[in-house]
Amino acid sequence: MIKRGHEVRAIALPPLPHGAVLPPETEISYGNYLKMNDDEVKKMFEGCDGFVFAAGVDERVEGPAPIYNLYKKYNIDPVKRLLKIAKECGVKHCVILGSYFSYFAKARPQMHLTEYHQYIRSRIDQKKVVMSFAYDNFNVAVLELTYIFGTQPGRKPVWIFLVESIRKMPGVTIEASPRLVLEGGHWCDECERKSWNYGRRAKVDPFFAQVWKPLHEDDELREYPKEVNELNIK
């Protein structure tokens, strides 16, 4: 966007990952939009023509039942509030980063994905909220993005472990039903609260086990402590 002549202003939780590179023209401030009052949000929108929402939580975040309440708290309610204020401040264009799960829910209604997966349900509901703001002088769009693989200075891709494992398994076919893929990644609120434990996960997740077991011993765990616990994000 900067290369196209736009001015870019961003807000993020501190700190930036070590080694992260941002264009020097980027105006970045640190803070939590969830804790901002309306006047602070309005100040953030001053002079802006467009707004991109690239925050919220995804299906990997743990929480107490019913989990939909957590998705609503971070993916739906903030969007509704921010779009309302953005519109009041004269912002004309808004883009919300959604999920490709929403696409599949619409493309394959016979699978009833929103009934089985509360995250997908929340993303569909999020899009309904976003589109309700669409008007002649207020353009809105939801990008239903697929997995984006790549590297970024200061960050290790979440799925690099799976990619590396699959590369070591030439000629192996991994099988899973759509329901298994969608529900297989879900985890109780205790097992991975403080760390990612791939060995334990493989014992209860059949889809994941297809990648793990050919390359690891039965007692191998590969546990990685979490720097930030999602449940501590208020």
pLDDT tens-digit profile of 203-219?
877 767 777 777 778 88
Q: Indicate the residue type of 55.
A: A
Specify the range with the lowest mean pLDDT, choosing from 91-100, 117-126, 144-153, 185-194.
Answer: 185-194
Q: Put residue 50 in one of left, alpha, beta given phi > 0 → left and psi -120 to 50 → alpha.
A: beta
Show me where the domains of the chain are located.
Answer: 32-143, 160-226
pLDDT in tens, 142-159: 999 877 766 677 666 666
Give the pLDDT mean for 117-134.
95
SS3 183: helix
Q: Tokens at residue 148, please?
A: 């984006």
At 14-54, the pLDDT tens digits run 887 777 778 889 999 999 999 999 999 999 999 999 999 99
229 is written with which tokens?
């616990």
DSSP states of 24-52: TT-EEEE--GGG--HHHHHHHHTT-SEEE
pLDDT grade, residue 87 (50/70/90)? very high
72 or 200, higher pLDDT: 72
For domain 32-143, the CATH class is alpha beta
Give yes or no for a contact between 200 and 219, defined as CB atoms under 8 angstroms apart.
no
User: Over 80: is that where the pLDDT of 174 sits?
Assistant: no
pLDDT band, very low/low/confident/very high, at 172 (cuts 50, 70, 90): low
Question: Please, which pLDDT band fits residue 58 given cuts at 50, 70 and 90?
Answer: confident
pLDDT of residue 214: 76
Q: Given a cut of 60, is residue 164 above it in pLDDT?
A: yes
- Please give the Cα distance from 226 to 78 (Å, whole number): 25
For residues 192, 193, 196 and 197, what is the CA-based torsion angle, rounded to 10 degrees? Answer: -40
**Is it the case that residue 136 has pLDDT exceeding 50?**
yes
